[in-house]
A and B are shown apart, each in its own frame.
Chain A
Amino acid sequence: MQLKKMRITEAKQYVADKLHVTPLDLSDPTLMRGLREELDIGTITGVPGVAKGIAAKIRIAELLDIEINCVEQFKKKTGLHK
């Protein structure tokens, strides 16, 4: 979200609202570990079956309602672009 020129407080609130958590929760590794797996947006450790790389970013773009350049380029290449 920094890439959309948001200051940090505004950016944290935006992401927290989209994930239905508080801004404080975003930096809680215990809470976020479970939430990331539940939302299937990628985990730090290797978990079989959980979205990785570009797959995770496609889900993040949808979840946060943001445009991510590499996701857009990937969709163009694969014909997934709506």
Chain B
Amino acid sequence: MKILTRMGDSSNVELTLDELRKELEEGSEAAAKKAKIPILTENEFDYLADMFAAPTRIWGVQRGNEVVMTKDGCVNALNSSRMSSGVVAPVNREVGVRLFESMLGFDSMEVSHNDYSVKPQRFLKALEQLHMELLQETTIFPLLYGFMPNLGLYYRPDGSFENPSDLLPLGKIAEARRTQEEALQACMDDCILMSDCMVEMGADGIDYDTVASTGDAEFLAVLKTTEHVANETGLPVEIGMSSEMVLGFHGELEWDGVRLAGLWPHQQLELCEKAGTAIFGPVVNTNTRKTTPWNLARALTFVKACTEIAKIPIHANVGMGVGGVPMFETPAVDAVTRCSAAMIEIGKCDGL
């Protein structure tokens, strides 16, 4: 019997049951070896094998095991370009949020600008505040305000700080570290500004998305911001990561005595919890040259290591190119539903 599934780039691939099982085991082992965490159990491999072998187009969780969803990127999927899987619908943000609540059945929503990084959003502070304030009066579901810290925008040519990517190839290690330390302070100031201003607008929380995309310096900026926001304002903070490992562009930065470079999801979670995070979103990137069973088993192994120790809700990222889902701008429903359901049934996630 041949089982039809997908590669990490979303193209079709056929596997025998033995090949499928091998892909699942090797994916889980790849994560376990990297992060020094346990592989999935035999029962969990059985569930995944049955799920992938089922010929149905879609898959789902057992009734009663439903979880809640938080979201990044506001209504970009409606009114943005293909970069955000957007369909360029002529819908503004206020209408879009209402549609996500009532028509698309979302459990919560993030309010943010199309230009999703904190640096451009801070110039629109008053507008951002007004839309949060107005939407809180017309919707029922929780509204978080969100953005990407995106430390990369603070470096030349986009920003004013020297770019560590220019300095490192020249062997200017100390200079590269110093510019990251200076830039992270500016990024943190903007993150705090745009978080604090949402308290009186009635925001139900703040979502920092794609965290540590520029490595350990960005992760430090977000941990410090979270510490401030959680302790000083009481606003719940959701942290959604950008990849499974924090890259060490700086290499020596620490928070609470822990070196940030090289941290895996369960280690990132522990620091986020200490900083006061209310929801943690681990990310596991998809390898486009591997199969979806391999990618999903690998992602589940990382995520399960989080949910087993978490004191706060875990909302794993399950979207284009993360959480086992193929890297394709319109991900196939057979892959998305299987990855989502497995994240709940096997990964034991509290949300997605």
Contacts and interface: CB of A to CB of B under 8 A. Distances in A.
Given A44-B102, A69-B199, A74-B202, A5 B236 contact: yes
A5 B142 CA distance: 14
A32 B70 CA distance: 21
Given A2-B278, A2-B279, A5-B278, A54 B68 contact: no
Contacts of B218: none
B140 interface: yes
Contacts of A72: 202
Interface of B: 63-64, 66-68, 70, 102, 105, 108, 136-140, 142-143, 199-205, 235-236, 278-279, 310-313, 315, 350-351
Nearest to B102: A44
| Chain A contact surface mostly | helix
Interface string A26-39: 01000000000000
Nearest to A59: B140
Contact of B204 (A6, A41, A68): A68
**3 nearest A-B pairs in the assembled complex, by CB-CB distance:** A70-B202, A8-B350, A70-B136
Contacts of B311: 5
Nearest to A71: B202
A10 to B, nearest CB: 9
A27 B64 contact: yes
Contacts of B315: 2
A54 B136 contact: yes
Nearest to A68: B204
Given A68-B204, A73-B201, A2 B137 contact: no
A24 B64 contact: yes
Nearest to B70: A2
Chain A CB count within 10 A is highest, among B143, B202, B279, B351, for: B202
A3 B310 contact: no
Given A2-B350, A70-B202, 6 more contacts: A2-B68, A5-B278, A7-B313, A54-B137, A68-B204, A69-B203
Contact of B138 (A6, A52, A71): A52
A53 interface: yes
Interface of A: 2-8, 11, 23-24, 27, 41-42, 44-45, 52-54, 56-57, 60, 68-74
Contacts of B64: 23-24, 27
A53 B94 CA distance: 13
Contacts of A4: 236, 278
Contacts of A68: 204
B93 to A, nearest CB: 16
Nearest to B314: A7
A25 B351 CA distance: 18
A14 to B, nearest CB: 13
B350 A3 contact: no
B92 to A, nearest CB: 17
Nearest to A6: B313
A60 B140 contact: yes
A23 B203 CA distance: 27
Given A8-B68, A23-B64, A44-B102, A53 B140 contact: yes
Contact of B140 (A2, A7, A57): A57
Contacts of B235: 69
Contacts of B350: 2, 7-8, 11
